[in-house]
């Protein structure tokens, strides 16, 4: 690994992602792209393109290691790093310029994708719908708020989303947009489901078979929605689709500190009690009516089509890697 030190800002962004000051799969991805851009802008190592690539790989590695579940993070890092991995540069200056442009391209695409999901997804909500959302997803909010802006009167429910209470961010955003959201405990979802029409949630990762990994509790909501014949929609940009899952790789579910669930004193007083804090769960495709992407609305079973269309290179690399492993 490169001996050239990374700028302080890159470590700060990595720490902000790890500690969830920056959170939500889309935001994490854009923050990582921004960190790579800063790393390139502030490079102060030798005037040697190879040394620069090594230094950028160090930044890429650091950023990817911050949180394990949202595939948008490695997708963002790989998208930016692709310019260095697939091209050779004669000068460091040219390589820096290419990284900056690629990072900016990613950020712009990601922002526009969320907006486009709102435009496309808003058509799935009807005037008078009672809609539930979980956690805090920019893509899901884009759908709900855009439908509201288009004149659809919606009654929106948001779960608290324990233990980190991202639901509070959601109700604030909805309220700022002019809606009058209702905040509800996570455990009230099945009780409320009979009076709801639709559920809209975001995604951290969509797998090749159309399963969706999102904030813990999402799969229970999907179960209750299925039981009550309530439509369950997922809003997810194509950067949330995981090329690694094409070869059957499983998505790692982040397990966070028990101290987000109970206080330190509680653990000290009760040494015989184990507290676990899994942060995400998996909703199988059978429980999902549609995935709203910036490329259109798809049934979950068509996730593989988005992957093949958008991640040709990555899938080819994954397949080569899998074959090499078999031959070893």
Q: CA-CA distance, 67 to 140, in Å (whole number)?
A: 21
- Residue 156 beta carbon to ligand RUB: minimum distance, rounded to whole angstroms: 15
Please confirm whether the linkage preceding 163 is cis (ω < 30° from 0): yes
For residue 156, the cross-strand partners are: 131
Q: Return residues touching ligand RUB (CB under 6 A).
A: 23-27, 70, 135, 137-139, 166, 202-204, 214-215, 279
Minimum CB–partner distance for residue 308 and ligand RUB (Å): 22
Q: Is 24 left (phi over 0), alpha (psi -120 to 50) or beta?
A: left
CB of 11 to ligand RUB, least distance (A): 20
Whole-number minimum distance, CB 16 to ligand RUB, in Å?
Answer: 12
Q: Which of 129, 186, 204, 289 is catalytic?
A: 204
Whether 135 is catalytic is yes
Which pair of structure tokens corresponds to residue 101? 């442009």
Catalytic residue among 16, 47, 48, 135: 135
Which single residue is written with the structure tokens 């009167």? 153
Q: How distant, in Å, are the alpha carbons of 86, 247, 323 from that of 316?
A: 14, 10, 11
Q: Minimum Å distance from CB 142 to ligand RUB?
A: 8
DSSP secondary structure, 8-60, as one string: HHHHHHHHHHHTTSS-SHHHHHHHHHHHHHHHHHT--S-S-HHHHHHHHHHHH
Return the SS3 of 91.
Answer: coil
CB 137 within 8 A of CB 117: no
Residue nearest to ligand RUB according to CB distances in the complex = 202
Residue number with CB closer to ligand RUB (55 or 287): 287
Specify the residue, 72 or 96, whose C-beta has the smaller distance to ligand RUB. Answer: 72
Give the residue numbers marked as catalytic. Answer: 135, 204
């Amino acid at each position: 690994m490169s001996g050239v030190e990374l700028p302080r800002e890159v470590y700060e962004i990595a720490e902000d992602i790890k500690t969830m000051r920056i959170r939500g799969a889309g935001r994490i991805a854009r923050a990582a792209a921004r960190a790579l851009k800063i790393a390139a802008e502030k490079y102060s190592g030798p005037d040697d393109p190879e040394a620069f690539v090594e230094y950028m790989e160090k930044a890429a590695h650091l950023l990817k290691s911050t949180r394990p579940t949202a595939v948008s993070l490695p997708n963002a890092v790989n998208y930016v790093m692709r310019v260095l991995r697939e091209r050779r540069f004669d000068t460091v200056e040219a390589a820096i310029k290419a990284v900056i442009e690629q990072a900016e391209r990613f950020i712009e695409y990601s922002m526009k994708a969320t907006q486009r999901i709102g435009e496309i997804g808003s058509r799935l909500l009807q005037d008078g719908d009672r809609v539930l959302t979980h956690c805090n997803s920019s893509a899901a909010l884009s759908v709900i708020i855009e439908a509201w802006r288009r004149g659809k009167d919606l009654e929106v429910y948001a779960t608290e989303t324990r233990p980190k209470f991202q639901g509070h961010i959601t109700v604030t955003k909805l309220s700022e947009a002019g809606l009058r959201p209702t905040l509800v405990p996570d455990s009230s979802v099945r009780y409320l489901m009979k009076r709801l029409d639709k559920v809209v949630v975001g995604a951290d990762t969509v797998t090749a078979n159309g399963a969706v990994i999102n904030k813990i509790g999402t799969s229970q909501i999907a179960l209750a929605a299925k039981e009550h014949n309530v439509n369950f929609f997922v809003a997810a940009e194509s950067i949330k689709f995981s090329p690694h899952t094409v070869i059957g790789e499983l998505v790692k579910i982040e397990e966070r500190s028990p101290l987000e669930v109970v206080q330190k004193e509680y653990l000290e007083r009760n040494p015989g009690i184990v507290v676990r804090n899994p942060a995400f769960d998996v909703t199988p495709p059978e429980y999902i009516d549609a995935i709203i992407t910036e490329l259109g609305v798809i049934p979950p079973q068509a996730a593989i089509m988005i992957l093949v269309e958008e991640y040709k290179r990555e899938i080819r690399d994954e397949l080569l890697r899998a074959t090499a492993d078999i031959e070893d």
